[in-house]
Structure 1
């Protein structure tokens, strides 16, 4: 499970050193793709297969929407392996899509992680935090 928020930096070559725990989870490789709200999703190969099976079961493959989702989703996916230092190189296309330059935040979101521009992440948190604090606990883990 991917957990936590980690403030990190891209180097001049667009490389990102993943948090140690995340490196363990993607030891077999990672798939990066465009995410919602202009971030980059990082998924295991197994998770990509699960998502595709669920999507195929929920939506006929011959609809325009399914074709568009498959084209944009799979078309933007990149398979990577971390180097010996635990770094992955984010392709320029994905860095541009998410506005990633230097300061980033890597956020664990259960079955995936997300890579955000640090300023965009801060703005997103500021916008969402009040609603989160006021929300009911539906679907949320509790300590009781």
Structure 2
């Protein structure tokens, strides 16, 4: 499970140092691709496989399915962290998420998200009240 917020930096070659707490779970490989709200999503190979299996079951006759699959897989990059815990972030993905040197890495349960710090700050501030309001919806009766 991934949780927490970290502020690593991209190096000059577009490589990201994964937070040390995440490295063991991703040591065998991962997939980084587009996420929603202009962030990047990092999946373990196992979880990306589960996602892929679910998408295989979705009807390709549905335009929404086709659109989603195209956007998810077209920019996806399979990576294996090097001995220092770095992964490459392809230019197309860095551009999509407006990433430069400074980034925010957040744990989001079964995935990691990589954000431009300004975008994360704006998103986070926008979601504060919704987070409070959603607790009754997500966990009714608690």
TM-score, shorter chain, exceeding 0.5: yes
Residue of structure 2 in register with 1:101 after alignment: 100
User: What's the secondary structure of 2:106's corresponding residue?
Assistant: strand
Structure 1 position 137, deviation (Å): 4.5
Which residue does 2:23 correspond to in 1? 23
Cα distance, 1:48 vs. partner? Answer: 1.3
Q: Does 1:130 align with 2:126?
A: no
Aligned length: 140
Aligned to 1:88: 87
Distance, in Å, in 1 between the alignment partners of 2:131 and 2:67 is 32
Aligned residue number for residue 68 of structure 2: 69
Question: Structure 2 length normalisation: TM-score?
Answer: 0.90
- Secondary structure of 2:7's partner? strand
Counterpart Cα distance in 2 of 1:88 and 1:49: 19
- Tell me if the contact between 2:55 and 2:69 (Cα under 8 Å) persists in the aligned partners: no
- The structure with the greater share of residues assigned to strand is 1
Number of the residue aligned with 2:6: 6
SS at match of 1:115: strand
- How far 1:24 moved relative to its partner? 0.6
Q: Secondary structure at the match of 2:60?
A: coil
Structure 2, unaligned stretches of length 5 or more?
A: none
Please state how far the C-alpha of 1:138 moved relative to its aligned partner. Answer: 4.7
How much has 1:74 moved relative to structure 2?
Answer: 1.2
Offset of 1:13 from its aligned partner? 1.4
CA shift, 1:99, in A, is 0.1
Structure 2 CA distance for aligned equivalents of residues 16 and 22 of structure 1: 12
Equivalent in the alignment of 1:114:
113
Q: Deviations over 1:2-47 (max 9, x none)?
A: 1111112111211111011211110111100000000000001111
